[in-house]
Amino acid sequence: MLWADGHGLDARALARKTLQLIRDRGTTDARAAVAGTPVAAELAVVFGVVGERGVAVVAPGTDRAFTALFPIEALDPAPRLAPLLAALGITTCGDLAALSHESVEVRLGAEGVALWRLARADDRRLIFSPAPRELPHASLDWTDYALKDPERLLFSINALLTRVCGALMADGRGAHELTLTFSLTDRGTHLELLRASRPTANQRTWVRLVRAVLERIRLPAAVTGVALHASRVAARDAQQGDLFDRGFTTTGAAEDAVARIIEDQGEHAVVAPDNSAHPLLDERTTWTPRSPRSPQAAHTGGEVREARPACAAPAALTLQLSPVPRAITVETAPRRDHMMPVRYRDGGEWHDIAQAAGPDRVSGGAWDPDHLHAREYFRCVTREGVLVWLFRDANAGAWYLHGWWD
């Protein structure tokens, strides 16, 4: 069966031309139908409704009446529903369509409601899925010169950030990750990933991350072009009910103020955790204010010098724990005595899992119903290379994203 979208076109002419192309390729037994809903067109074709020049046409606005004439078996109901439909005396699509939504849901469940919608020609299936939205991106190339100075590179990247962050803000979205690609004079490219702990469209935040990257990397050649692409995008966080609530109208100003403080004062630690003995990380940690420590000094030969570490601290991943575990949809596969996650959906986007370790089982609170918990934790690496922390609530059977490492 082939489908064609005739919206905005002469649907009858399109059907005749498509049918002629199929016949020209040697298929003689072919039929076509035109209708306002997929289910009506499908029934007309499958049951051989006669039409002019092999094209059956369901008159506009009559899809429900047309569908009502067919036996209920034409909609291919699930085997579980067949005896229930027979017991209710439903033999045609019209019989089922005459019932109310509530009565169908009570007697036949979710599968019965889906069948009921088709019987009413209320076909919500998407024959053609919508084209994916293009993620914000921007690029800049120059041929008359090449750049090595990090400050000049930052100036060019800042112009790209203006466009990308503007596009994100216009859509009400934020980026978890930006991909920065340098085109080099040796005809090679160098790619860097910029990651934020939560979705943001604040330009100052991304400028700070770009500056940190430019201070760290050593490019093998001069730069002749830069491209910036929002590789991971999500809706900006919902209301949290605090000073920096991202649902308030002052969200942008608050986020900008935090970025200015970091630029002026540096990335000092301003909070410290107060941990209890609770087995769940999100329950045992309480954050309390702490002033940044003053630089240590060492006295040598009458001089006062700032004490510096003998070597830089090794690079390490930091767990970014979500304030509240975020409910997600997870697809699993059987693995011995448990189900292993293979991909999950967060914010409308599916993420394939390349590798997963677990489960790490935590349970307790059997004598305290208010603190009863049973979880299975998994440390997973996605196809994009992001290390995430998922868990399944064994009591509710629901999956959650607890945090990620960056």
373: Cβ contacts below 8 Å, ≥ 6 apart: 279, 280, 362, 363, 364, 365, 393, 395
Which carries the bigger pLDDT value, residue 27 or residue 310? 27
Which carries the bigger pLDDT value, residue 169 or residue 248? 169
Of 125, 118, 2, 121, the closest CA to residue 59 belongs to 121
Lowest average pLDDT, out of 135-139, 201-205, 289-293, goes to: 289-293
Of 120, 71, 123, the closest CA to residue 98 belongs to 120
Which carries the bigger pLDDT value, residue 261 or residue 11? 11
State how far Cα 79 lies from the chain centre. Answer: 34
Structural domains present in the chain:
11-119 (1.10.150.20), 137-235 (3.30.1490.100), 319-405 (no CATH)
How far apart (Å, rounded) are the C-alpha atoms in residues 381 and 344? 12
Q: Residue 310's pLDDT is what?
A: 44
Percent of the chain with pLDDT over 90: 17
CB 206 within 8 A of CB 220: no
CB 352 within 8 A of CB 383: yes
Amino acid identity of residue 363, one-letter, is S
How far from each other are the two terminal CA atoms of the chain, in whole angstroms? 48
Tell me the pLDDT tens digit for each residue of 3-57. 888 777 888 888 888 888 888 888 878 888 888 888 888 888 888 777 777 788 8
Average predicted confidence (pLDDT) for the chain: 79
Amino acid identity of residue 286, one-letter, is T
State how far Cα 27 lies from the chain centre. Answer: 43
Q: Residue 286's pLDDT is what?
A: 67
Q: Residue 305's pLDDT is what?
A: 37
pLDDT band, residue 258 (cuts 50/70/90)? low
Percent of the chain with pLDDT over 70: 77
Location of structure tokens 């604040």: 202
Neighbours of 337 (CB within 10 A): 6
Q: What is the largest CA-CA distance in the chain?
A: 105
Lowest average pLDDT, out of 69-83, 139-153, 301-315, 364-378, goes to: 301-315
Of 151-160, 228-237, 356-365, which has the strongest mean pLDDT? 151-160
Of 234, 85, 227, 93, the closest CA to residue 153 belongs to 227
146: Cβ contacts below 8 Å, ≥ 6 apart: 185, 221, 222, 223, 224
Is residue 295's pLDDT more than 60? no
pLDDT band, residue 263 (cuts 50/70/90)? low
DSSP annotation of 146:
-
